[in-house]
Amino acid sequence: MGIGYCKYKKRSYDEAVRYFEKAIENGYLANDVNELLRWAKSPQ
């Protein structure tokens, strides 16, 4: 999750999505990641 957030802040959105999805697969609480995942999939 932390790496995904860093990638998001660096505007590496595709990489951020990959790390956020991996965090969910590995048991990280989906509710904590879903909003960041949504933002990374549709950056402004």
Q: Which residues of the chain have pLDDT under 70?
A: 44
User: And the tokens for 6?
Assistant: 């860093």
Evaluate if pTM is beyond 0.85: no
- Residue 12 is given by DSSP the state -
What confidence score (pLDDT) does residue 44 get? 62
pLDDT of residue 22: 92
In contact, 19 and 4? CB cutoff 8 Å = yes
Backbone dihedral angles phi then psi of residue 11, each to the nearest 5 degrees = 65, 30
Per the prediction, the chain carries an average pLDDT of 86
